[in-house]
Amino acid sequence: MTHVVVLGAGIAGVTAAYALKSKLGPHDEVTVVSDKPYFHFVPSNPWIAMGWRERSDIAFPIGPYLESRGIKFIQSGVKRIQPDVIQVDLENGDVLFYDYLLIATGAEGMTGEVPGLAEHTQSVIHIDQAERALAAYREFVRRPGPIVIGAAPGASVLGPLYEYAFLIDADLKRRNIRERVTITLVTPEPWPGHLGLGREGPSRGAVTAALVDTKISVICNARTQRIDKDTIHLVEVDAAGNDKQTHDLPYAYSVYWPAFGGVPALRNSTGLVDGRGLVVVDEYLRNPDFPNVFALGACVAQPAVDTTPVPVGAPDSVYSISKAGEIVVQNILAQIGDAPLASHVPQRAKWLTDMGTNGAAYLAEPQVPLRDINWMRQGRWVHQAKVDFEKYFVNRIRLQPAGQSPSAASRIAGVMSRVLAEKGGEPVSPPVAAAGSGKPLEIRLPQDPCVELRALARSVGRDPDALAAELLAAAVSDAKSYLDESGVEAMAHARRALLVESLPERQPGVEFHGGGT
């Protein structure tokens, strides 16, 4: 019997655990450990911070989904890893022994490297931080002022930096206060759209043009020194790394990307990590000194792709992490069966080359699956593609294992419980998505269900159209839970085809406006 322990219940950890359990033998065990009881789709955090998503849209308890597949779930923080004695010490006092260990803990923002960053700016790395950023933003719009969106030296995965700046621009325009707010983007990159790629392609001109079009100022080669309550102090350097100009930027609201480091449990685990607490791996995504320890996702020590005047970390995306996860699973199974391992290096090199060619289009991370989406008409497709991928990925995580029926705790039950709880109180507006804010959909009901619906709406004090929209949205969500993996793939294809049909013709620059288009 083989026991695989997976640390982390995020995008990397859950998908790898699903794949491992489905491919290991019936007597093999997979255990997932996480300090959080829920899964959440990290790329949508900027939308949480804008109020364009609710927590329940992208986060949900993960234990039941793991356990329904025969995967043991332990909610506990990790105290330390002792690879020399093949054990993991948990904060709840338990000790786990493993045959193979997959570390997918994610990373932690090293906010202490820039004095004042943690105290005075917001972050969207985690969903809790994104919710706090939303609360601060709502206070900001009552008393608008300058906005600074920035990244510290060594920060990586910089696509969301631009995405968030364009989201802010779009939202302020919706509120009719954009002309009262200056937006400055501060980045360690040598030019806009560099993204840590190490090559200058079409993305530089496209990103620069989008920033000019939206009147977002940018300071590149920026080394942020410290952040006070109302001022950000930074130095702009030249191509040789020499100080060129100092900037003292006033701000009323700021979101910053810190450089990444390992979570405390990794920093406490000697022999596995580099100086920043990130897991050192070889081309097979396993630790060189402990070949039964693998790592995946943001916790992996990725070398910088390029040398820049101010350090810039390597890029990444859900797509690249998912593809790396396939390599990890393949290599764990190969190692168990004493088969040759597969190198991740060619695959990552191909992804970096691809992203470098089309970097501007991928600012709204992540890349979508089935990558023929590149041929779609320009305009809103980047934003629509991200919406599409969010739904696709969350659907796959929630997918019921073969042979099991969906839970009786349906979305329809949730809608009716809420409606009945609100009955007799102040009217509560239904969620925007459930209210049917998109294109009208004509549905012809037989007379009896139509009368029943109107009677139900009247009995609970709701508008029939609004209640029907909520119930239909809940019914669709419940219906999706009956799909198997091939059904989820088929739905993704069909959804993409419908999106293509509904997209406008080419609208230069619109793709950079994020959710505002």
Residues 341 and 238 in one domain: no
Tell whether the model's pLDDT for residue 400 goes beyond 70: no
Output the pLDDT for position 446: 83
Rounded Cα distance, 111 and 223, in Å: 14
Rounded percentage of the chain residues whose pLDDT exceeds 90: 54
Domain identity same for 138 and 92 = no
C-alpha 23 chain-centroid distance: 26
Same domain? For 100 and 28 the reply is yes
pLDDT higher than 60, residue 62? yes
- CATH code of the domain in which 290 resides: 3.50.50.100
Residue 356 neighbours by CB distance under 10 Å = 20
Q: How far is CA 326 from CA 224, 300, 321, 418, 462, in A?
A: 37, 15, 9, 41, 48
The pairing of strands 243-250 and 231-237 is antiparallel
Whether residue 86 sits in one domain with residue 155: no
Pair of tokens at residue 495? 């959804």
* 103 and 116 inside one domain: no
The pTM is what?
0.79
**Among the residues of 44-186, which ranges form H helices?**
45-50, 55-58, 63-67, 117-120, 127-142, 159-174
Angle at 128 between CA 124 and CA 132, to 5 degrees: 75
Domain boundary among the residues 234, 258, 282 is at 258
**Is residue 490, in this structure, part of any structural domain at all?**
no
Last residue of a domain, one of 343, 367, 391: 367
Among 231, 258, 285, the domain-final residue is: 258
- Please, are residues 370 and 494 in contact by the beta-carbon 8 Å criterion? no
Residues 361 and 449 in one domain: no
Q: Are residues 125 and 253 in the same domain?
A: yes
Q: For the residues 237-263, what does the mean pLDDT come to?
A: 96
> Based on the domain organization, do 39 and 115 belong to the same domain?
no
Average of per-residue pLDDT across 496-508: 57
184-188, 284-288, 344-348, 501-505: least confident range: 501-505
- Same-domain status, 98 and 54: yes
Residue 395 in domain: no
Residues 234 and 291 reside in one and the same domain: no
Residue 240 belongs to domain with CATH number: 3.50.50.60
What is the extent of the structural domain holding 160?
111-258
Same-domain pairing of 105 and 116: no
CA dihedral 43, 47, 53, 56 (to 10 degrees): 40
pLDDT at 201 over 70: no
Tens digit of pLDDT for each residue in 401-442?
A: 655 555 545 667 777 777 777 765 544 444 434 444 566 777
**Same domain as 121, residue 104:** no
Asked if pLDDT for residue 172 goes beyond 60, the answer is yes
pLDDT in tens, 132-145: 999 999 999 999 99
Is residue 79 assigned to a domain? yes
The total domain count for the chain is 3
What confidence score (pLDDT) does residue 431 get? 42
Mean pLDDT over residues 54-59, rounded?
A: 91
